[in-house]
Each structure stands twice: as C-alpha cells, then as structure tokens.
Amino acid sequence: MTNPLVPSLLLAPLMSSETMRLILDDRARVQRMLDFEGALARAEAAVGVVPASAVDAIAAACAADRYDLAALGEEAVGAGNIASPLVKALTAEVAKTDVEAARYVHWGATSQDVIDTAQVLELRTAIDALVADINRAIEAFTALAGRHRRTAAVARTELQHALPMPFGLKLAGYAAALARARERLRRLRKEALALQFGGAAGTLAALGERGLEISDRLAALLDLPLPDAPWHGHSDRLAEIAAALAILTGTCGKIARDIALLMQTEVAEAFEPARADRDASNMIHQRNPTAAASALAAATIAPNLAAAIIAGQVQEHERGLGGWQAQWTAFPALLLVTSGALHAVVDIAQGLDIDADRMRRNLDATQGLILAEAVAFALAPKIGRPEAQKIVDEASRTAVARGRNLHDVMREDARIAAQLTPGELARLFELMGYQGAAQTFIDRQIGSLQSRATKRL
C-alpha cells in the first residue's frame, strides 16, 4: 500500500500533493531504513566494532530496488514490524557477496532504531517540501496584500457585515498565519528530528564502551541531531510535529473557508483561479470552490490523525505497544492531507480572482449602516456615549424602516447637525476613512515577513 490514507490512483491526488506522495512511497521508506543500516555499518567500522571490510558489501546491498516490498509486507505481519524482515532480507542480500560481512548487519541496533530514525528522515524531507509550498503561498498572498491594501471590503463577524476593512489586511493575515506555521516547522526540523539509537532497551549495552562514539558518528553521517539519550519510550518530539502539521492544515482550512464564502453567488467578491479542468458542472453559472473543498476536507481529517499520534505518547516502559505502531500509518496520512491542504492554498493564492467592484457594491448593501459605529464614536466625545448611541440607533432604525441611506437620514437629524458639520458627517461615511490601524497592521505583517526573508539570505 503506497498511500496509507487512500490507496487509490483516483482519490489520492484529491487529498495530497504529488511531491508528498513520492516522499511517502513505500520504496522511499525502505530506502531510508537502509540508509540507517548503511550509516550504522560505517559508524561501527570507523571505531573498530565491525570489520572495515564489511562496509562495502553492506553499503552495496542498501538499495531499496533490490527488495520485494510485497514479500516484506507479508513477513511484517508475523514479525510485528517492517524492520525485522528488512534486516533479514538485507542480511541475505549481503551474504550473496560476502558471508562474513553479513554477520555484522544491524550490529547492536534494534528494530525501533531503524523505524524511528527512518521516520525522522522522512519527516525532514516532508517538512522541506511543505516549507517550499508555504513559501509560494506566502509570496503570493503578500503580493496580493500590497495590491489590495486600499481595496475596501466588508469585514464580517458571525457572518454578518460589521465594518469596512482593506481587503489587503485579510490577505496579509493569511500570509502571516502561514509564516507562523513555517516557523514552527523550521524550529521542529532543527530541534525535534533527532537520531533514535539505543539498542534493545535504550542502553546501547551490546556496543559496550563504544556505543556513545558510534552514536556520534551515526548522527553525523545521517546529518541528525544527537539527543541526550535514546527516546525509545518518549514520542513527545513527534507529537509536537504532528500538532504543528495539524495547525498548518487548520490555517489552510481557515483560508479555504473564507474563500469558499467569498465565492458564494450572493457574495461573489473573490474566486479560486478559473481553470479548464475545474468541475465540469451542467450548471454553467456555478463556479465551485474545488481547491477550497480539498483544503477543508484535509482540515477535517488532520486533527484526528494528530490526535492518534499524540495519544500514542502513552507508551509502556522502554518500548510502546500499540501507540508506537499507530504512528506508522497516522504520520504518513497526516503528511498527505497536510500537503493536500497546502497545495490547494498555493493554488488559491497564486490565482485568486478579486472583484473590487463587487466588494464596493456589497459595502453599499446596508445603505450606510456599516458606518454607524463611526458616527457614534464621533458624537460620543461631544454628547456622551449613551446619548450618541441612542441617536445613531434611532437614525439607523429610521433608515431601515424607510429604505433610505443612513447618511441621508442623519443629514436631516438636527441633533447630529448640532454636533457635526455636513462635511464632517460626509467624511465619516468614506469607507476607507474608518479603518483604524489597518494599514499599520498590513505594514507590520508584511514587514515582518520581509524581515525574516532578509535574515535568511
């Protein structure tokens, strides 16, 4: 089963990126396990624990295309894990050319060392792929935020019109949230992806006094941090990575939800990019949010997969029973749906179709009521907040009852005229005149992203 989430050529592309599917391919996973075995032989030979003459034969056999994956999978049922039959097959493969070298395959290691370190190597490659996609989405949303920082749009709270806002603020918020997800992944790539090497019970007893030296060399060969001690019974690092992946998927889901709502026929303010291969519906008036649907589906699935990994922290003594094994399928599945959500958001960000004219018409839908708060806060310092609120409420009710624009109603209200000149009142109804610190917030978010990019260079 190449795809642990959806073993289907038809469904997998809906929920994952092609890059992630290649990373999680069965043969790629076996190769990472073999990379551990090859590096182990080199590290042990360097300190004289195994003969140097054994290294070449072992290294030559550490090629995944030499092994029957289906046979390994069947043997794993009896062994309880994939590492045991792989080590057996590797030993047999080495013995074909060097019987003596075959004696030193997997020397002093245990199945969990192979499986967990391969998992760490897999996560490292997966995180690199995710960060590359996050970068593309951030770049696209940042550019859009700059272009639409003066585009007036409706800010909605509880799905209702609240106040005017620059649409660029929403877009900058998307970029900033994705950047926070990127920073989490980068930190975890550096701190949490550590070598697992402890032997049968996490003591390296089989390697005697050379165990620590071998660990140092093995970590260096695999380019992994060396932890203070083996972590056979503690998967908190992996749990934190799972949480970060679920959070990233949730951020993608939030963006997708917004875009799907903006695409509604009654709203029609922003749209996914139009493509010839998108949803060939008989209802030609529909422009369906297909990318958003993929991201939202992934955001629904991801928290449950992360929960399975987090629950797996509750392990028994020095090696878990059940929780550890649950990670083997939960992690690839989580990586797949995360990649799918992010791929959809990249698609949206790079081709978002924004209708500024429709945004303006929607702002006018409430006939000035969206700026009632602006008038209330302009009057409050002059006559007190309770009286100001009362006047504005009465004017708003009159405007709604008579189907008139609130500005027109207020111009006729003597109580308001006594406090505000016609020009002052008119300025209060300028859509981008009541945006508070929105432009500063855009600058801060975009500036923060640009600052981080400069530091990386």
- Please list the active-site residues: 281, 319
Report the C-alpha gap between 8 and 2 in whole angstroms.
Answer: 9
Number of Cβ within 10 Å of residue 354's Cβ equals 18
Q: How many CA atoms lie within 13 A of 253 on its CB side?
A: 17
Handedness of CA 148, 152, 157, 161 (dihedral sign): negative
Supply 56's token pair. Answer: 């070449």
Number of Cβ within 10 Å of residue 361's Cβ equals 12
Report the C-alpha gap between 324 and 313 in whole angstroms.
Answer: 8
Report the C-alpha gap between 175 and 187 in whole angstroms.
Answer: 18
Nearest to 184 by CA among 226, 245, 263, 225: 245
Output the CA–CA distances (angstroms, integers) from residue 138 to 184, 241, 347, 430, in the order listed: 15, 21, 12, 31
Report the C-alpha gap between 38 and 27 in whole angstroms.
Answer: 16
Report the C-alpha gap between 374 and 407 in whole angstroms.
Answer: 12
Phi first, then psi, for residue 453 (nearest 5°) are: -65, -40
Q: Which residues pair with 157 in a beta bridge?
A: 160
Instruction: Yes or no: say if 258 and 269 are a contact pair by the CB < 8 Å rule.
Output: no
Report the C-alpha gap between 161 and 359 in whole angstroms.
Answer: 12
Report the C-alpha gap between 95 and 104 in whole angstroms.
Answer: 10
Report the C-alpha gap between 294 and 297 in whole angstroms.
Answer: 5
Report the C-alpha gap between 444 and 449 in whole angstroms.
Answer: 9
Query: Coil, helix or strand for 16?
Result: coil
Supply 428's token pair. Answer: 């209060």
Phi first, then psi, for residue 294 (nearest 5°) are: -65, -45
Amino acid found at 403: G
Supply 443's token pair. Answer: 């600058």
